[in-house]
Chains A and B, each alone.
Chain A
Amino acid sequence: KQEVTQIPAALSVPEGENLVLNCSFTDSAIYNLQWFRQDPGKGLTSLLLIQSSQREQTSGRLNASLDKSSGRSTLYIAASQPGDSATYLCAPESGAGSYQLTFGKGTKLSVIP
């Protein structure tokens, strides 16, 4: 059974700092991995998807990397802004015909103006 751990559970940084969120998963036989953000009481917004054959993906100030063999992914946020404050969730998608995403508990990010 896939298990996902995200470290740290919470993070508070001053505006403008660069930061890294970590995600580890136990079963490396994944098809892809998605990073999401979730604002309080809201649904999930897809940020980046990395396919298992890729090492990283970039979108604006966000860069996600994937080391499938070691079961790790990181999300790098450059020049953080108060609007980045949210919970960030990583979710590997199981392979072998199962398309479910398995989520960690997330990292709650607060960017202080």
Chain B
Amino acid sequence: DTGVSQNPRHKITKRGQNVTFRCDPISEHNRLYWYRQTLGQGPEFLTYFQNEAQLEKSRLLSDRFSAERPKGSFSTLEIQRTEQGDSAMYLCASSLPQVPYEQYFGPGTRLTVT
């Protein structure tokens, strides 16, 4: 049983460019979560999907951020017009649709905006 995978693992981009990250959850996990972690801080919740439905969004998810999960399997997180403040580790997690909803995290995508 493979874990949560994320691609790419590292991304360096120039300010103003668009970037897209991919997350593949553990198979049969119908819940998928995105978090962001900056240096020295704990992860912060961004958004959550159950199957293909985006059910919860944080206020951290500005208009420049969009997340999709078109077929209820993998998910993408796109950041448009990147800013230096977007530099962070973007973490994806998944869980089964049953108690106790334990979340399993992927290795993350490290974004550096120059």
Contacts and interface: CB of A to CB of B under 8 A. Distances in A.
Contacts, number: 63
Given A34-B103, A49-B100, A100 B41 contact: no
B104 A46 contact: yes
Given A43-B108, A99-B33, A49 B41 contact: no
What DSSP secondary structure best describes chain A's contact surface? strand
Query: Which size bracket describes the interface of B in this complex?
Result: 20 to 34
Interface in B1-50: 4, 6, 31, 33, 35, 40-45, 48
B44 A103 contact: yes
A58 to B, nearest CB: 16
A31 interface: yes
A69 to B, nearest CB: 19
Which has the most chain B C-beta neighbours within 10 Å: A93, A98, A99?
A: A99
A44 B105 contact: yes
Contact of B103 (A42, A101, A104, A106): A101
Interface in A55-113: 89, 91, 93, 98-106
Interface residues of A, number: 25
B39 to A, nearest CB: 10
A99 B43 contact: no
A43 B100 contact: no
Contacts of B108: 42-43
Contacts of A89: 42-43
B42 A103 contact: yes
B36 to A, nearest CB: 11
A105 B102 contact: no
A21 interface: no
Contact of B105 (A43, A49, A98): A43
B91 interface: yes
